[in-house]
Structure 1
């Protein structure tokens, strides 16, 4: 119980470092194929520096973030998008991933910002879900208005799950944060979130109504 959280944290950090190193070593392998022969010993030495891949990948991400925050950087980003959206096959994958990432990580979007209770996989059986938006386009024309799109994560691995479209009247919005809801799902209900006062709960203070008597 004492060592398990630390062990899992270290394991995740080592996995991230290994992934970043793999990206860096892949770039080095591509670079070694086009560099002159006299530079090959230098590239070979870079392979044996531990943690260099992590440092360079993080530095590259920081430089990219700094670049795209100014006008010139945004212009280059548009050229980058134009290039990849005109390459056959690549454009299908690139456009799909870009739309999903823009929707999920947009600062003004609603995806994964509201935890809900939904009945799944049958009526009377409840589970935690996250609102991802509302149905649109042809789907909305068939389902009608006042529907919500939700993601129902599996436990203990919330990265897989099910996508459902439900009437808003059949879901219950929760006051708990997304972090609390994820912890509740991952722990299989053993770590209960902090109780939030609900207007309809016992002991809750009823709102004061204006005096309309004459």
Structure 2
């Protein structure tokens, strides 16, 4: 019975990302088609080309991207995001999706964590770590003397770690 559960969850982990991706793409395409029909039907009448919704959706995304390059629009979005970042369950979902999309944004790779190797004093052992903080200017004066960085050293199975 244990083997059946193992196979089931292995199959679920394999199929779930694929199925969710296809489902979300299908929902996006269906939504853009219905919005395009709703907006364009009064303008173009009964003439409608299938796939016009996809074109319309791409135009909307391009328009939002152009708007997001304006500083005052980014400030307005930060204000709109406040409820999403304060509610407990919504916060965890929204912050996960936001950090994932920020990673793939044009400026996201510059903020990616740098991988470093820490050599243990007195040993030939080396540990791989991630630089998590470069500036401590927001801490009280004299809290950390000299120039330092925070490095996260993960433990096995990535369930915890040490920041040195």
Q: Which has the higher contact order (CA 8 A, sep 6+)?
A: 1
TM-score (norm 1): 0.37
Give the TM-score of the pair, scaled to structure 2: 0.44
